[in-house]
Chains A and B, each alone.
Chain A
Amino acid sequence: MSNGKVLHPELLAPDDRDSIYRRGRRLDHAGGASQPLRASTLEKQPRGAKVHGNRPIDQAEAAARFIAAPEHEKMHDERLWDLRQKRDRQMHGIPEWEELRALASAIKEHTLTHLDDYLEEFETNARANGTHVHWARDAADHNRIVHDILRDHGARTLIKSKSMLTEECGFRAYMAAAGIEVIETDLGERIQQLDNEDPSHVVVPAVHKLRTDVAEVFARTIGTDPDNSDVHYLAESERESNRPLILAADAGMTGANFAVAETGTFVVCTNEGNADLSANVPKLHIASIGIEKVIPHLEHLAVFVRLLSRSALGSPITQYTSHFRGPREGGEMHIVLVDNGRSERLGLEEFWTSLKCIRCGACMNTCPVYRRSGGLSYGATYSGPIGLIIDPTFNARKYSNLPFSSTLNGSCSNVCPVKINIHEQIYAWRRELVKQHETPFVKKAAMKAAGELLSHPAAYRAAIATADFALAHLPRFVIYNGLNAWGKHREVPHPPKQTFHSWHQSNRGEKT
């Protein structure tokens, strides 16, 4: 591998060796950072949540480890906040922005309330174009169907573009066991695949990694220089490493962002063009599509495409927006429509609108908890705010803590291009999980006690008096210890001389 080779040396400014400049302007399309973000020290990458079978994920523990890696946390937080700000700039440039959001939400809600009709229409039209359409009840069904298609064609190697649905289905692990080599072509996904780690973000899968982490992974797996963490060098190395695999692959697989019922078309949005490579180089193209991706008409694509990349990366559109309406001449195209719990979620009165999600990741970018915790701290395919409201439908026990990894600040709902009321659904899940008895015992007892205390004024008064007294008189080490979580990393409030209650008694006594 070449050492120190930079892709576009003539485009870099002397004081900003990372960035591409054109006509004096620093380019930041396709999610490029709008200002230099650079970690200064070598720090080991913090790993994600500890997963023990079905035990509830401890997101707080994993988040604490992420924060204990300050270079990673700072880079992650600033990178995603930058995407949020770029998204805001795009928003301000479009006077009809809020109207587009309302339209997107309405189109999705209409479609979901008529989902069976639109799926049948999509299937009819796709078949008429020469596309094969399969239906998969769940992850196992999906993996088996895809395996059958590959086996029928004697395919042993598969290149694929990014698909969260395939992550959901545990696709790579299944194929590995079946002896079929799967090669991720998206740079972020490939990094994660080579590192044997899940993607951390739905749009930028390796956003939690510093360039030094990527250098370590590539040195280990594709033979790059371990001391060279120049990003242009790393990206070029991966391009050259993947290219022969793309050219030799027996089959290609993509996901889909949208499926248009009217024409039997599905649409894939990428910045790298890797979906187009996966679909157009090998003869066989398989697309995994969640049933909730359907939209009625071509004209609706304009609404969603205008919102998607602006919300996700603060870029007006992805570099590639590919429309597949049928197989190419001499080629073969298969679609696998996947349910995997979606139709059931449709029946949840408070949560069905989470199916509107177009996987833009804007909620993750704006979430102050996500930015400081890293997506891997959630221990689930979907992290961040959207993860909090859909993961409990996959496994209520395992993800029972997630709805509490939120301050309910509501920023996510405001950036959601399809107006999912995410923070309200997070709140609703807390109620739901309590009802299903899926909360840790200690909270339940404490809450019951609190409810008792707060409904009895005399007992409440007595408790407050004690708290004030305790705060005013106990030595510092008693207050600040491991048991008192408030005081671990911040000072407790200064105890006042008297409560409002007693002040009022002294100063306004008669007025009650």
Chain B
Amino acid sequence: MSSRDDILASIRANRPQLERSLPAVPLFDDPPPPSLLAAFKENLELMGGIFLDPPESGDVLAPVRAKIADAKVVCSTVPEIAGNRDIRAIAAPRELADVDFAIARASFAVAETGSVLFDDKDLQVNAVAYLAQHLIVLLDPADIVINLHHAYRRPEFRDRHYACFHSGPSATADIEGVLIHGAQGVRSLSLLPLARTSGASTAWAPAGPEQAERSEACPRPSHRDG
């Protein structure tokens, strides 16, 4: 008998013969916060993230440009702003070790926890969000959901092989409870609210003909990894 057979047989022999039904899980979304963006911002900051206030006028990406002005290596996975390291040319993740700033767009965010969700399509090379010294996130405020119950209804968890909630930067308090940012991963996570430009939407809504058309029109960058 294989280990698999042994284990399953042992479980069947030992399983308690008790009636334990699976409960229904409510969405716990009532009452919703007055502003999803405000709630998200509050929680992002409590988790150590930095919210970049969008400028009143002029260049919407000015706060991001200011952040990366002195950086040596910037790796951008978004069409809105260019870096100087092309992620499509990466053969192995370790080639991203010298990246100062990674810029990526989150698929969606969660107001309850101040989290953003990246999947393997957003990152293209997953490791970029962990090897970079700093992470800059673009987020469309229309992509904020109320809480985790809503979050887990999103298709990313069924469609993608990798999806990760980032809730602020890498952190630890393992030594005497002293809070450290940049434990192993990024030292900072800054977020700029910026609506998706048309044609680049991955916003999820019940499928309608308009939605499908827009998705078709958007060119998907090729997904390469080493």
Contact = CB atoms under 8 A, between A and B. Distances in A.
Interface string A101-113: 0110011011011
B130 to A, nearest CB: 5
B190 to A, nearest CB: 12
Contact of A319 (B15, B23, B47, B120): B47
Contacts of B169: 319
Interface string B111-130: 01111000010000011011
Contact of B174 (A102, A137, A191, A247): A191
A349 B6 CA distance: 21
A325 B157 contact: yes
Given A187-B172, A277-B130, A281-B127, A320 B185 contact: yes
Given A187-B174, A272-B184, A346 B165 contact: no
Nearest to B165: A321
B92 to A, nearest CB: 8
Contact of A29 (B7, B23, B168): B168
A330 B45 CA distance: 36
Contact of A231 (B18, B147, B176, B223): B176
B62 interface: no
Nearest to B43: A316
A317 B174 contact: no
Given A27-B46, A281-B94, A346-B11, A319 B177 contact: no
B76 interface: no
Nearest to A26: B179
B46 A7 contact: no
Contacts, number: 311
A328 B161 contact: yes
A106 B181 contact: no
A188 interface: yes
Given A271-B170, A273-B186, A231 B10 contact: no
Given A277-B127, A346-B14, A8 B114 contact: no
B196 interface: no
B156 to A, nearest CB: 8
A240 B193 CA distance: 32
A239 B187 CA distance: 11
B158 A32 contact: no
Contacts of B114: 316
Interface in B167-212: 167-187
B152 A301 contact: yes
A352 B16 contact: yes
Interface in B202-226: 223-226
A335 B62 CA distance: 45
Contacts of A211: 175-176, 178
Nearest to B110: A317
Most A-side CB within 10 Å, residue of B18, B115, B157 = B157
A209 B172 contact: no
B131 A231 contact: no
Interface in A121-148: 129-130, 134-137, 141
A280 interface: yes
Contacts of A130: 161
Nearest to B175: A231
B93 interface: yes
B164 to A, nearest CB: 4
A248 B94 CA distance: 8
Contact of A206 (B11, B129, B174): B174
A27 B93 contact: no
A224 interface: no
A37 interface: yes
Interface stretch (A292-300, A448-456, A482-490, A491-499): A292-300
A235 interface: yes
A321 B14 contact: no
Interface in A272-309: 272-274, 276-277, 279-281, 283, 291, 296, 298-303, 305-306
B97 interface: yes
A281 B20 CA distance: 42
Contacts of B126: 276, 279-280, 328
Nearest to A346: B14
A248 B179 CA distance: 28
A344 B224 contact: no
Contacts of B172: 30-31, 186-188, 235, 271-272
Interface stretch (A17-25, A379-387, A420-428): A17-25
Contact of B178 (A32, A103, A236): A32
B185 A273 contact: yes
Interface string A230-254: 0110111001001100111000000
B8 A116 contact: yes
Contacts of A271: 170-173, 183
Nearest to B93: A281
Contacts of A103: 23, 25
B148 interface: yes
Nearest to B50: A22
Given A281-B94, A316-B114, A33 B176 contact: yes
Nearest to B114: A316
Interface string A133-168: 011110001000000000000000000000000000
Interface in A31-81: 31-33, 37-39, 75, 79
A406 to B, nearest CB: 25
Nearest to B119: A323
A96 interface: yes
Contacts of B179: 18-20, 27-30, 32-33
Contacts of B151: 302
Given A113-B15, A300-B25, A30 B2 contact: no
Contacts of B21: 106, 110
A304 to B, nearest CB: 10
A324 interface: yes
Contact of A96 (B7, B17, B28, B50): B28
B163 interface: yes
A210 B184 contact: no
Contacts of A112: 15-16, 20
Contact of B161 (A298, A319, A324): A324
11 contacts: A113-B16, A113-B20, A187-B172, A235-B180, A281-B127, A281-B130, A302-B25, A319-B47, A323-B164, A328-B120, A328-B161
Given A110-B20, A113-B15, A277-B185, 7 more contacts: A18-B179, A29-B167, A274-B183, A299-B152, A319-B48, A343-B14, A346-B11
Pick the 9 closest A-B CB pairs, nearest first: A273-B185, A33-B177, A347-B14, A32-B179, A343-B10, A188-B174, A272-B183, A326-B161, A30-B171
